[in-house]
Amino acid sequence: MPGRDLHIGDIVIENRLQWCIGGAQGSGVDTSANIFSRACAEGGLWVVGKREYYSNIKGEHSYFVVRVDRNRVDALTEGFDVLATFDEETVARHFDEVRKDGGIIYDPSLASKKVADIPTLDKRIKDEFAERFRQSGTITIMTLLEDAKKRGVHLFPVPYSTLLSGVSAKTGEKRQSVLGRMVNVIAVSASFALMHYNLNELESSIDHVFGGRKKLSEPNKIAAEVTYEYMAGNFKDGLGYQLSRVATEGKRLLLNGNQAIALGKLAGGLRFQTYYPITPAADESTYLERYERFSVKDGDKKGSLMVVQTEDEISAITMAIGGALSGARSSTCTSGPGFSLMSEGIGWAGINEVPVVVTNYQRAGPSTGMPTRHEQGDLKFALYGGHGDFPKIVLASGDVEESFYDANLAFNYAERYQLPVIHIVDKAMANTTITLPYFDPDRMTIDRGLFLGDGTPFVLKEGEEYERFKFTESGISPRVPIGTPGGIFWNTGDEHTELGHITEDPVIRDRMMDKRMGKLDLALKEIPEDEQYHYFGAENPDLLVVSWGSTKGSILEAMARLNQHSGKIGFLQIRLIRPYPAQAVIRLVKSAHKFAVMEMNYVGQLADITAENTGLLADYRIVKFNGRPITVDEAYVSLKRIVEGKSEKRVVLTHGA
């Protein structure tokens, strides 16, 4: 990190910090983070945040990191300036991550708790503490806090129960169950009070998060006021960080990746969505279900979107295909285990040339893996999953904003080329909360390809039959929905004739394979280059970083930092991975001195795929697979080491709690 010289009382850092809140799952970490993020955003600041949690309903440790800045931010850095804790475990897990001159807010009644007694803390961590603090006798929370203090971290003991008594006196609320939940707001308020942030923004955020339910919001606002008073009275100097309202231009959103993709699908014409519950994909479908009826421009009737919860992912993909056969834009969303179950159905859509979109939110695999943690481990499976050769398009969004517009592109590709499209995103995007400019659906164009979907009859010459799989020059045959007058057709998972009847004729087989697979060449020719990949940074760079998906934000910021001094770095973000834009990649790689592929999986899947498609072997593979997204700092350090000639050929990044 760039050097900082902070002193309590001297405000030197304004509107730029990273905050973390943690506690037991189910204790309100999410609510707190929502209140915090929204309060910042309502003051015109930009935020990006990530949620980390266990596959658990109540009790395990969860935390939320929010980065706040006066400018737009897309990725998280390492370390926190302020750590707000509800419980002893949060202190134990994160005290080391608090930067020098940062602060830890904690309940002093927890200070004497023994680390060994925290039931949910991994033995590996307890063993490491036992070794590290072996001089200290019994290791308590205070042992850890004192250690942080020695590094220059400021401690802010906030007695939650005392503050709650104050709230109780002011509100008349006596129920412990209700008061207990206000600890969330107290932790957020204590953080904001240290940052000298305006109470009004916080109160407005509380109103919004509690949905205008005065019974909830009023006492919480009183809790905020009580906390501000307490903090002002007890920690006069506050911290060396200040947040203040800034002016913004244009309307902005505060949302997560699940919501962005759901909105993109809805605008892009999705009318039939199926799903089986799975983390971290299901929130997309439940969000869509909530908005199943919507207004239609220039229409007097409401539009509607049907969301069906199925019995499994096999049903989800096959039902979505059925919806597409009837003519609706149809999709399903899932994550690794469900995606595995969908393989056979996706192959069926391939051989029957059915446009269907599968949004795969990757999570750490294999098998159940780490269901709530992040990874980009499904790329090869997205490309190769399914038996036999059939065409499908794989589109990888790089951030939440891209994912909104890509939701429509995925449908366009599916319908134009009549094939399944895998829109591949990940847990980090699903659970990223971010401020963004309003989306502009008018930037989307809806392309349904050779599709006759408005109910007009399919006109044939006398004596001719409609041939669903008619051989054409482009390889694409006109498609009609089931129920079209004149448009009776057959589909089969068997190899088939132009009519769609089963055949094992070797000549027809060859022609049908050519017809289907040829669509990928056509797609690569027709899809605009700026949809295929994005290139950032210097031309003819010393180092070209190639990546895909949600690493984008960290790489861009690391590159900007690096380009300030050490160098000429370029970044190639590949979005279209099948068909693979080989010519463009070869040209860009050859324009660079060296190239590195950075991604969140063990083997370096994109690096392999790049070699397969271009014959070019990456000079460096930077990988990470511990379930936590690559931070700006990790990207920065690993790239810097390459530039300085100090890097290994394979670098494994390991940051994260």
Among 311, 462, 473, 530, contact with another protein (rule: CB under 8 A): 311
Q: Is 323 in the site for another protein (CB under 8 A)?
A: yes
What is the H or E stretch that residue 132 is in? helix 123-132
Residue 300 to residue 377: CA distance in whole angstroms: 46
Point out which span in 88-96, 237-245, 309-317, 361-369 binds another protein (CB under 8 A). Answer: 309-317
- Contact yes or no for 11/101 (Cβ under 8 A): no
CB closer to another protein, 172 vs 250: 250
Residues 385-414 that bind another protein (CB under 8 A): 408
Local structure of residue 212 (DSSP, 8 states): T
CB closer to another protein, 441 vs 567: 441
* 3 state SS of 62: strand
Residue 390: φ, ψ to 5°: -150, 155
CB closer to another protein, 312 vs 644: 312
- Contact yes or no for 351/516 (Cβ under 8 A): yes
Point out which span in 13-21, 222-230, 383-391, 452-460 binds another protein (CB under 8 A). Answer: 452-460
CB closer to another protein, 41 vs 607: 41
Question: Cis (ω within 30 of 0) for the bond into 366?
Answer: yes
Point out which span in 250-258, 362-370, 385-393, 548-556 binds another protein (CB under 8 A). Answer: 250-258
CB closer to another protein, 305 vs 635: 305
Nearest approach, Cβ of residue 499 and another protein (Å): 9
Residue 111 to residue 524: CA distance in whole angstroms: 61
**Nearest CA among 484, 613, 557 for reference residue 67:** 557
Point out which span in 63-71, 122-130, 260-268, 545-553 binds another protein (CB under 8 A). Answer: 260-268
Q: Is 42 in the site for another protein (CB under 8 A)?
A: yes
CA distances from 47 to 189, 376, 647 (A): 17, 24, 32
Nearest approach, Cβ of residue 457 and another protein (Å): 9
Nearest approach, Cβ of residue 7 and another protein (Å): 32
- Contact yes or no for 17/243 (Cβ under 8 A): yes
Nearest approach, Cβ of residue 320 and another protein (Å): 6
- Contact yes or no for 312/318 (Cβ under 8 A): no
Residue 346 to residue 383: CA distance in whole angstroms: 11
Structure tokens that stand for 506 in this block: 């070797």
Residues 328-387 that bind another protein (CB under 8 A): 328-330, 344-345, 348
Residues 62-91 that bind another protein (CB under 8 A): none
Residues 425-444 that bind another protein (CB under 8 A): 435, 438-439, 441-442, 444
Point out which span in 107-115, 255-263, 369-377, 382-390 binds another protein (CB under 8 A). Answer: 255-263
Residue 235: φ, ψ to 5°: -130, 75
Residue 653 to residue 656: CA distance in whole angstroms: 9
Among 18, 62, 143, 274, contact with another protein (rule: CB under 8 A): 274
Nearest approach, Cβ of residue 26 and another protein (Å): 24
Nearest approach, Cβ of residue 27 and another protein (Å): 25
Point out which span in 99-107, 269-277, 421-429, 647-655 binds another protein (CB under 8 A). Answer: 269-277
**Nearest CA among 37, 97, 91, 44 for reference residue 64:** 37
Q: Is 322 in the site for another protein (CB under 8 A)?
A: yes
Count of residues making up the chain:
657
Give 503's contacts (C-beta < 8 A, 6+ positions apart).
494, 495, 496, 497, 509
Give 645's contacts (C-beta < 8 A, 6+ positions apart).
none
- Contact yes or no for 98/657 (Cβ under 8 A): no
Give me the long-range contacts of 304-307 (CB less than 8 A, separation at least 24).
304/271, 305/266, 305/270, 305/271, 305/272, 305/273, 306/271, 306/272, 306/273, 307/273, 307/274, 307/275
Nearest approach, Cβ of residue 278 and another protein (Å): 16
> Which residue reads 């911290």 in tokens?
239
Nearest approach, Cβ of residue 486 and another protein (Å): 7
Among 122, 312, 514, 529, contact with another protein (rule: CB under 8 A): 312
Structure tokens that stand for 503 in this block: 């055949």
The contact pattern for another protein, residues 2-41, with x = CB under 8 A and - = no contact, is: ------------------------------------x--x
CB closer to another protein, 133 vs 439: 439
Among 12, 296, 460, 617, contact with another protein (rule: CB under 8 A): 296
Q: Is 257 in the site for another protein (CB under 8 A)?
A: no
Residues 174-203 that bind another protein (CB under 8 A): none
Residue 435 to residue 437: CA distance in whole angstroms: 7
CB closer to another protein, 316 vs 607: 316
Q: Is 297 in the site for another protein (CB under 8 A)?
A: yes
Q: Is 321 in the site for another protein (CB under 8 A)?
A: yes
Among 10, 117, 122, 447, contact with another protein (rule: CB under 8 A): 447
Nearest approach, Cβ of residue 237 and another protein (Å): 30
- Pairing between β-strand 420-426 and β-strand 356-362 as defined by DSSP bridges: parallel
Residues 467-526 that bind another protein (CB under 8 A): 481-494, 500-502
Point out which span in 64-72, 119-127, 271-279, 632-640 binds another protein (CB under 8 A). Answer: 271-279
Give 595's contacts (C-beta < 8 A, 6+ positions apart).
543, 544, 545, 546, 589, 616, 618, 619, 620
CB closer to another protein, 1 vs 482: 482
CB closer to another protein, 194 vs 480: 480
Residue 224 to residue 206: CA distance in whole angstroms: 9
Point out which span in 263-271, 549-557, 620-628, 644-652 binds another protein (CB under 8 A). Answer: 263-271
Residue 189 to residue 203: CA distance in whole angstroms: 10
CB closer to another protein, 34 vs 335: 34
Residue 652 to residue 191: CA distance in whole angstroms: 34
Among 49, 257, 327, 627, contact with another protein (rule: CB under 8 A): 327
- Binding-residue total with another protein (CB under 8 A): 86
Nearest approach, Cβ of residue 121 and another protein (Å): 36
Nearest approach, Cβ of residue 522 and another protein (Å): 20
Point out which span in 134-142, 294-302, 371-379, 530-538 binds another protein (CB under 8 A). Answer: 294-302
Residue 496 to residue 503: CA distance in whole angstroms: 5
Point out which span in 146-154, 267-275, 371-379, 561-569 binds another protein (CB under 8 A). Answer: 267-275
∠ at Cα 293 (291, 297), nearest 5°?
110
